[in-house]
Structure 1
């Protein structure tokens, strides 16, 4: 591991993962609209993939792939019941993060939506 000019750790190919790397992975896992919709839905309570397929109107394979990503990041967990699996959020702090994001979005208005790199391109912050 090396140290940058600000005194923070920088990840090398053989070094440990820094706090910044972990934050990048967290935000990347939430950067997809479908995964974010799944997280918001699971904030309301447990759901099966079949429930999410119906509510989000997506293919089962699409929902399953996104659930696998969220499971791999330890953001959701499954509770088997018979032949079904009921998914829920693993950490209630995730909802605090999303609430903070909504507060920030409200404070910045359309600025994020208009971002030339990551914005929606429509100028609407919906």
Structure 2
């Protein structure tokens, strides 16, 4: 499956928000997306929602992928969505993964967060989801 539906690669910002210092999963996802032909910007550890949204705006990304294992997902994702709305970033996907209960995934989806992936998800599913979302929702 081609991940280049347009005249440039899909651009994804991969972020670790908060004090969670475990970034193995985020690095694996970043490498997987890069291997699939996407441009990946990895923010590194201990980012704030404001730092993530500002970097996404500066880098003109198509998607933001947040890795979160700390349990702060019900604070982090809504804050990112709010900041993105304030900056007019309505056509950028917010997705992610980590330790997030199914009920919380459903609630975050209602708030505008895209599909969230639990540990053990096949990385091909993540690549496919981002590619299909960008094809359907981005216009460039």
TM-score of the pair, normalised by structure 1: 0.26
Larger Rg: 1
| Greater strand proportion | 2
TM-score of the pair, normalised by structure 2: 0.24
